[in-house]
A and B are shown apart, each in its own frame.
Chain A
């Protein structure tokens, strides 16, 4: 009798568990459909197009062109150079700011955070053109500097690499600060105190305790910035003035100027593969939740 009841119970519980399973699956279904329709199918299509030659037949010509042409090499070098420099400057400006924010009270840190986020919420295009207005030859920066006698003649800030960098660093900074700040806040402040009670000068305590514990957040931020930079379009297009050509711009010109979907797709595939490789290597090198949480 008891055994029978137990069997009945178990059957009911199994059914309950299964139903729960289906419910959760049902909840994720819209997302799965969306990802399938908006990401997987287009990427598959992109992949397919990259192997279609000018004459409409299967060919490797799009990839061969990339390897053989000097122009493409230059574009890849520019893309990586700009991305690395942007990431570097973001770390240079972002780390001290995130550190400062992690050391002040939460109230003031939140105020600083608003300062970080407001530009983040402003349209990319608006910010990019704002920089153009500020930095151009007769822009605010140059005219003020010349009027004050700091400069004898205006400096060329925009339509070159420096302009692109200024704009990109400004736009990417929040992507570095957000994960880094979250990481730094989670570092047990007693750890640094412990270090100094054990005899470490403030500098030593920072480099031997705080900095190593902030590395996961720093790497997460660097990675996001770098990957976003690789495919960046608007800012280098506007502030680079056609002189700084990154991969995304070449993709666009392939389509708009040359109507070569194949060439554009091939470049897109390469960019995607490179990004995936970088993510893969990064995830092997660090586990992002390794340290930093309070013990």
Chain B
């Protein structure tokens, strides 16, 4: 806990639009100073939740607290949050410095102080010397930075961002992800970030809240979410994965015809899914006891620059019409020695990487 940030407690927040349940009793604690990402596909309710935090949407019921203070009835302008919108929402009739100085002007900060804080904010986002520019003279990346400077100039304790990078091209977006994260670390305000881009979420967040169908599906560090997804939806949504159906009986899993050992203890009988990440597979020349194995035939082998992607059609007798993808990092593998198309191959998956999720959620 420090004085430049506040924790956020969200409790039972529910919002419906007619028959559509945008949020269903969402409860979530955002720790002070944390970078938390609300991740979900479009229409999942993540933006609605952010708008509830910002005060633009009132929940049907539930509570939102900033620190100890209940804010659910506070209008947006009294919440003291910084917010960055998806399409920047800069004021086209003001120049860069006027945009950034706007919150300060509202707060009655003196001209001199405003000038200094605007300069500081602009230099934080690496836009020194651009204060006099008109908004329509800026590139997309610069607009994004101005929007950010405007949101942090008054040192809010909470910063909300609604897909701020979605309009930028891939390269710039990846640069900005790292920059935003560094910015968060240096300003140490509580940040709630909304995105549908799982990679962005994994890159930037302290913790990720996966939201789907108006519900909080899982809350955890990027590592936890990636390695130990709660259900088939998350396993499929986060990262690349293939889900193979598995049957569990008396704690023993069967995938295809083979018994598989998993990393977790399976207490329940029923239908499960084995989550197979392409980068966790390896080509097995001999079989050891610490892994599970698949047999198949190479269908496709694609050079992708930093890695080689192979599509393996699994033995149809045991697996039906299913295939797996294996990703071999370029450099660690001698690409010339890989089996060619239509050749037989044995893939291994370490037991520690063999993770099952319940199949009830639909999945792949």
Contacts and interface: CB of A to CB of B under 8 A. Distances in A.
Contacts of A294: 87
A209 B135 CA distance: 14
A188 B77 contact: no
A191 B79 CA distance: 17
Given A196-B75, A197-B77, A198-B106, A188 B87 contact: yes
Interface in B36-91: 54-56, 75-77, 79-83, 85-91
A196 B87 contact: no
Most buried by B among A199, A201, A208, A293: A199
Most buried by B among A188, A196, A204, A209: A196
Interface string B84-118: 01111111110000000011001100000000000
A139 interface: no
B325 interface: no
A199 B90 contact: no
Contacts of A209: 91
B102 A195 contact: yes
A107 interface: no
A294 B143 CA distance: 13
Contacts of B88: 295
Contact of B92 (A196, A204, A291): A291
Interface in B132-188: 135-136, 143, 150-151, 154, 160
B181 to A, nearest CB: 22
Give the contact-size bracket for chain B.
20 to 34
A199 B75 CA distance: 10
Contacts of A295: 87-90, 92, 135-136, 143
Interface residues of A, number: 24
A196 B76 CA distance: 6
A101 B143 CA distance: 30
Interface string A233-254: 0000000000000000000000
A275 B87 CA distance: 41
Given A200-B106, A295-B136, A190 B77 contact: no
B160 to A, nearest CB: 8
Contact of A194 (B79, B89, B135, B136): B89
23 contacts: A188-B87, A188-B89, A190-B85, A190-B86, A190-B87, A193-B76, A193-B89, A194-B83, A194-B85, A194-B150, A195-B102, A196-B75, A197-B55, A197-B79, A197-B160, A198-B106, A199-B77, A199-B106, A200-B106, A202-B75, A291-B92, A295-B89, A295-B90
Given A190-B86, A194-B85, 12 more contacts: A193-B76, A193-B89, A196-B77, A197-B82, A199-B77, A199-B80, A201-B77, A205-B77, A209-B91, A295-B89, A295-B90, A295-B136
Interface of B: 54-56, 75-77, 79-83, 85-93, 102-103, 106-107, 135-136, 143, 150-151, 154, 160
